[in-house]
Structures are given as structure tokens and as C-alpha cells.
Amino acid sequence: MRGYFGFGVERVSKPMNLGNLYRTAHGFGASFLFTLDAHARVRESETGLTAGSDTSRAADNLPLFHYDSLDDLNLPEGCVLVGIELTDEAIDLPSFPHPPAAAYILGAEIYGLSPETLARCRHVIKIPTKFSLNLATAGAIVMYDRLRCLGRFADRPLHSGGARPGRESQTPSGGSNRPRVREDLLRREQARKGSSDPEFS
């Protein structure tokens, strides 16, 4: 699958919710995860976000960036910010053409996305449900839809049963762009913090 994606949460306050999203993002082949204006207890629990339930070792394989404000948000060049929010103007997820390079962001269930963040997004999409979902659940749905749309899978048959002969299934291995995107993000973050880590200098 070409391209890459990252996933972020604004004003998240529950470490368990972020931990669930962390593992899901790793499973779907995300290149990075980020928070925006996260609650202090989320940052303090960073090393234990996936402890006890994550056999995939997401924290060892997927970089997590914390940004204090929208002004600090530092995405790769060409990466499109896509908001996930239940608004009248938002595009229904089943009708949305996913950008090859994208960073998706959703808000904590109690707050949603701030007006400032919504204004920064190039696109805003919504999952057509009766009410808002848990952020980890919403994130998983969007990631699955991206994989379904951009992955190379056999066409879905019109009748029930197995897939028709055609293109081979493609699992989210991350693709050749994934290490490059991670390295670029880590280098940018080191520069922003004024670090001189020799690995990225």
C-alpha cells in the first residue's frame, strides 16, 4: 500500500483510551501517533499505556509525539491533516477518498475537536453513527476504511461467501515509506527540542 498515515488525539485524558488506539494504530501499519494538549496523567503514564494488554509491543515500534498546542504540531511536508468529528459539514467516511499521506486527528469523546483544530484540518470526516463513539473504536473504523480503500484487495463479491479470484490480499506491512517517515519525524522532533542525538544528527 502506497503512502503513510499517522493518528492523533486532542485533549485525551484517559491513558487506557490512548493505549488502545496505540495498539490499533500499530496493527494497521501507522507510521506515528501523536497527542495534542493531552492531560498530564496521559503523559505521566506514557510507558504504561499498553502495559499488560499489548503483545504487539506497539511502544517499541511506533513513535508517539506529544504536542502542547496546535502551533507546536509538526507534520511531515505534504502530510494532510484530516479531522474526525460529527458535524453537519463533515464528509461521510464511506464517501471519503483517503489522501496517500495523512494524519488523522480526533478529539476526546467528551470534548470533540476544538474549533481551532477543525479550522486547521484540510478535510473533516465523520463516521455515520447515531452518536459519538469511543475514540479508540472510532480510530479503528477509520484505519480499517483507509486500508480497505487504499489496500490492494480482491473486489468484494455481490453474493455472500468467499472472495472472487483477483488481486492478492495485502496486509498492512507499513511499506517502504514507513521507516523514512518515522526517521523524518524523529529528526524534526529532535530539532524542535534542541537535542543533539547523534542517531538523527
What is the C-alpha to C-alpha distance for residues 154 and 145, in angstroms, rounded to an integer? 15
What is the C-alpha to C-alpha distance for residues 37 and 32, in angstroms, rounded to an integer? 17
Q: Give me the DSSP letters along 72-107.
A: G--PPTTPEEEEE---TTSEEGGG----SEEEEEEE
Tally of domains in the chain: 1
Cell representation of residue 77: 511536508
pTM, two decimals, is: 0.77
Cell representation of residue 129: 453513527
The pLDDT score that the predictor gives to residue 149 is: 94
Query: For residue 68, what are the domain limits?
Result: 4-155+163-200
Which of 17, 9, 27 lies closest to 65 in space, CA to CA?
9
The pLDDT score that the predictor gives to residue 163 is: 57
Q: Please list, in sequence order, all residues whose beta carbon lies within 8 angstroms of the beta carbon of residue 59, skipping any fewer than 6 positions away.
A: 22, 47, 49, 50
Task: Provide the sign of the torsion angle of the four alpha carbons 80, 85, 89, 93, taken in this order.
Answer: positive
The pLDDT score that the predictor gives to residue 47 is: 52
Q: Which long-range contacts (CB under 8 A, 24 or more apart) does 54-59 make?
A: 54/19, 54/22, 54/23, 56/23, 56/26, 56/27, 58/22, 58/23, 58/25, 58/26, 59/22
Q: Please list, in sequence order, all residues whose beta carbon lies within 8 angstroms of the beta carbon of residue 178, skipping any fewer than 6 positions away.
A: 4, 29, 31
Q: Read off the CATH number of the domain in which 136 is found.
A: 3.40.1280.10
Which amino acid, 33? L
The pLDDT score that the predictor gives to residue 53 is: 54
Tell me the mean pLDDT per 10 residues along the chain, length 201: 92 86 92 90 62 64 91 94 95 97 92 94 96 92 96 82 59 58 74 60 41
The pLDDT score that the predictor gives to residue 72 is: 94
